[in-house]
Amino acid sequence: MIDSILDKMTIEEQVSLLSGADFWTTVPVERLDVPKIKVTDGPNGARGAGSLVGGVKATCFPVAIALGATWNPDLVERMGVALAQQAKSKGAAVLLAPTVNIHRSGLNGRNFECYSEDPMLTAELAVAYIKGVQSQGIAATIKHFAGNESEIERQTMSSDIDERTLREIYFPPFEQAVRRAGVMAVMSSYNRLNGTYTSEHAWLLTKVLREEWGFDGIVMSDWFGSHSTAETINAGLDLEMPGPARDRGEKLVAAVREGRVEAATVRAAARRILLLLERVGAFEKKPDLTEQAVDLPEDRALIRRLGAEGAVLLKNDGVLPLAKTSLDRIAVIGPNAASARVMGGGSAQIAAHYTVSPLEGIRAALSNANSVSHAVGCRHNRLIEVAKGKITVEYFKGRGCRGTPLHVETVDKGEFFWFELPSGELDPANFSARMTMQFVPEESGDHVFGMTNAGLARLFVDGRLTVDGHDGWTRGENYFGTANDEQRGTVALDAGKAHAVTVEYDPPVATGEGINLTAIRFGVEKPLGEADIEDAVETALNADVALLFVGRDGEWDTEGLDLPDMRLPGRQEELIERVAAINANTVVVLQTGGPVEMPWLGKVRAVLQIWYPGQEMGNAVADVLFGDVEPGGRLPQTFPKALADNSAMTGDPAVYPGKDGHVRYAEGVFVGYRHHDTRAVEPLFAFGFGLGYTRFNWGEPRLSASEMGAEGVTISVDLTNIGDRAGSELVQLYVRSPKSRVERPDKELRAFAKLSLPPGETGTAEMRILPRDLAYFDIEAGAFRAEPGDYQLIVAANAADIRFVIDLPSPLDYLLPPSHQATSLIA
């Protein structure tokens, strides 16, 4: 059928399929009954069309690093199924997920959106996620291919990565997704790879992806991440996103006429788009693109379960789980206590149906007999708190907010990210908007107003210019580098008195340089200070336990910028120290999208890392704190003692954050624990680390064969839960190679198994490895090679807790070209 449609299509029609129609849909060809389909972000939910902020409500699942911490592919697959239903509720046929870039530095703004520092763990979870999504007839889009491990200069930076490192560390999740999950779409990354934009990288998109791995789906660009006509299509990029066409359309038709692109290349790309439409059932039933908010009880339950399953207990001297009945007074403190920080920032944001804060979750878990008191202590927000309340927005034709507004609406938040304006009569390049609200301060004193805008804006308080985002505007880092850095102004205000806040906004003036977005965010806060820390200390003073909810939020852990360091922002470290100094039962609950330094670790009794676990956050954390559920998470990323211990932090800017447009992955394959183990750099918490509430006995491992053969080896370990509660245990299987022609990591994760067992029960963890699991990528041979020799299997609870070391001879020299499937060739 597809070929007969293609036969009937003009070259213009074929070309029309190769760019989006708009931000989120493809181009239909009505004459031939080719429908349009919708794509939607993103990894932890299905946002639907429209802007990144606001929109129709959606179910908010845990972010990827929290899934990485579950080490539980079965649960992640179930989440994939649920996400596909969410995508359907938004009329979408394609989900722009999962994100499988590797945790290279710990400072990557999108660290939260990626699973792990380890390619094998990432691959297992991505395969499960994709299988779940695609089992429901929704296409998954694995991203960002490849080398997108930082947000710095992300539209242009060249990630310079040698081939062995690509093959061993950065490619496996993509490779496995193609081979084992049949992923239907791949998104190229923004960055260049070894000097060439990935969207026009023929080796990457055609040789490796299609020819070696056998990928038969579509490759789409990241949004505005394609920059040429002939180069992209000749390299294998099928779909330019978003639409309408920038470098395609007429330009591509002309390139075909001029012989720079072959008609067969266009046809092959158009064919793949039609195949995608067929795979998602769009020909059978014309997609209905309308959007609904579907909030299901089974999704709520799954999110709650995932939240606990990904919660990593880093320290516990016995204070957890808390016994509800023996606690009279509980102090719940910190900037993340009453505010529910459920997700990261950037394109992964969605409008969650609802959120449960830790304070709400804890209150709901307790009876009236327990008294819960709360203090915020300090703030950690990167930007001034966004304005909330009734905001009237008047839209005008032309700049300068002149005349009568064409459209008036009210919203409840001071953040606007316009992909579409509320009226078709408004020109996105030549309109203006005035927002007005009444702000009534709760307390008297200095208040700080803040504003960041892509475009030009001024903020007035009671008619006086307070924040100038107009004169002298320059690009900063917000809104993916299209807005200025936040500008601030301070005004003394009186409690209880209404103050008029007015913002006047004009869209950006096109300069032809870089992307322009139309966005603005403004807000106000009363700075917190010493009195607020004292208030928190006071709250903790007589409490039986002080629960400190600290960390970051989606303004820090966000697409568009990297983190400045690995410390808790604001005065949070001081808050922890001061609370811990007066309350001997201080428990820290951390929320970050990656590792943090913990100079205060020795002063607190327990530390629980919960990441950004989705809309059920408060309930999930209460489940773990009170022991209704065990903390099932294990670290998917090494937590170093200090940032400098990370292998990308050599002090050489060319290695991180990059210099002269290039970031050199000089550490090669020595990422995460591969670096810590090989170079004997002791971590704060090792890869795979996490405590439970019960204990396990490990039996002696059994091997299915005494040496590696082409069919592989299975390793079985019996685990017995010897504690008195249900719990889970993770078994990691690493391979240590003998001395090799190349320098190899001390050990590499090749399999894992996680068992959940009731008290007293025994189960068997089974893990299987193949010759490829012994191999490194041999550049000269252009193949994975497992040299003959004496390998070791390392059976461990985490990278620093080795339980058994077993010799595994491998007598043959295996040479496995990248195009090979599971079976092995022998050199």
Q: Residue 181 Cβ, how far from ligand BGC at the closest point, in Å? A: 19
x/- track of binding to ligand BGC for residues 404-423 (CB under 6 A): --------------------
Lookup result for tokens 């509320």:
422
Judged by CB, which is closer to ligand BGC: 242, or 441?
242
Judged by CB, which is closer to ligand BGC: 28, or 225?
225
Is 287:36 a contact under the CB 8 Å cutoff?
A: yes
Distances (CA, A) of 398 to 394, 403, 426: 12, 10, 8
Helix residue ranges per DSSP H, 193-262: 202, 230-235, 250-257
Judged by CB, which is closer to ligand BGC: 348, or 606?
348
Q: Which of 207, 208, 205 is nearest to 221 (CA)?
A: 205
State both tokens at 6: 């293609």
> Rounded to a whole number, what is the distance in angstroms from the first to the last CA of the chain?
44
Q: Residue 42 Cβ, how far from ligand BGC at the closest point, in Å? A: 6
Lookup result for tokens 């183990």:
677
Can you tell me the distance from the alpha carbon of 737 to that of 673, in angstroms, rounded to the nearest whole number?
15
Can you tell me the distance from the alpha carbon of 139 to that of 144, in angstroms, rounded to the nearest whole number?
16
Q: Residue 570 Cβ, how far from ligand BGC at the closest point, in Å? A: 27
Sign, CA torsion 190/39/20/171: positive
Judged by CB, which is closer to ligand BGC: 504, or 559?
559
Can you tell me the distance from the alpha carbon of 748 to that of 120, in angstroms, rounded to the nearest whole number?
9
Which string of b and e fits 495-533 if b means at least 16 CB within 10 Å?
Answer: eeeebebbbbbbbbeeeeeeebbbbbbbbbbbebeeebb
State both tokens at 144: 């960002």
Q: Residue 518 Cβ, how far from ligand BGC at the closest point, in Å? A: 15
The answer to whether residue 223 forms part of the interface with ligand BGC (CB under 6 A) is yes
Length of the chain (residues): 827
Chain positions 134 to 163 lying near ligand BGC, rule: CB under 6 A, are 143
Judged by CB, which is closer to ligand BGC: 129, or 223?
223
Chain positions 722 to 751 lying near ligand BGC, rule: CB under 6 A, are none
Max distance between CA atoms of the chain, in angstroms, equals 84
Number of Cβ within a 10 Å radius of residue 705: 11
Active site residue 222: yes
Q: Residue 88 Cβ, how far from ligand BGC at the closest point, in Å? A: 18
Q: Residue 241 Cβ, how far from ligand BGC at the closest point, in Å? A: 7
Q: Residue 616 Cβ, how far from ligand BGC at the closest point, in Å? A: 24
Question: How many of the chain's residues bind ligand BGC (CB under 6 A)?
Answer: 8
Judged by CB, which is closer to ligand BGC: 170, or 685?
170
Judged by CB, which is closer to ligand BGC: 143, or 571?
143
Q: Residue 222 Cβ, how far from ligand BGC at the closest point, in Å? A: 5
Is 383:450 a contact under the CB 8 Å cutoff?
A: yes
The answer to whether residue 42 forms part of the interface with ligand BGC (CB under 6 A) is yes
Can you tell me the distance from the alpha carbon of 146 to that of 300, in angstroms, rounded to the nearest whole number?
33
Chain positions 573 to 602 lying near ligand BGC, rule: CB under 6 A, are none
Name residue 431's beta-bridge partners: 397
Judged by CB, which is closer to ligand BGC: 42, or 613?
42
Q: What is the dihedral of CA 669, 672, 677, 681, to 10 degrees?
A: 120
x/- track of binding to ligand BGC for residues 44-83 (CB under 6 A): ----------------------------------------
Q: Residue 481 Cβ, how far from ligand BGC at the closest point, in Å? A: 11
Is 160:194 a contact under the CB 8 Å cutoff?
A: yes
Can you tell me the distance from the alpha carbon of 403 to that of 388, in angstroms, rounded to the nearest whole number?
27
Is 803:741 a contact under the CB 8 Å cutoff?
A: no
Phi-psi region of 583 (alpha: psi -120 to 50; beta: other; left: phi over 0): beta
Judged by CB, which is closer to ligand BGC: 143, or 744?
143
Number of Cβ within a 10 Å radius of residue 296: 14
Is 727:821 a contact under the CB 8 Å cutoff?
A: no
Chain positions 547 to 576 lying near ligand BGC, rule: CB under 6 A, are 559
Can you tell me the distance from the alpha carbon of 634 to that of 71, in angstroms, rounded to the nearest whole number?
7
Binding residue for ligand BGC (CB under 6 A) from 79, 96, 120, 270?
Answer: 96
**The one catalytic residue among 41, 222, 238, 247:** 222
Judged by CB, which is closer to ligand BGC: 190, or 556?
190
Which residue is closest to ligand BGC by CB? 347
Number of Cβ within a 10 Å radius of residue 221: 28
Angle at Cα 486 formed by Cα 483 and Cα 492, nearest 5°? 145
The answer to whether residue 240 forms part of the interface with ligand BGC (CB under 6 A) is no
x/- track of binding to ligand BGC for residues 163-202 (CB under 6 A): ----------------------------------------
Distances (CA, A) of 63 to 108, 110, 139, 342, 687: 15, 10, 19, 8, 18
Q: Residue 245 Cβ, how far from ligand BGC at the closest point, in Å? A: 17
Chain residues in the site for ligand BGC (CB under 6 A)? 41-42, 96, 143, 222-223, 347, 559
Catalytic residue ranges: 222
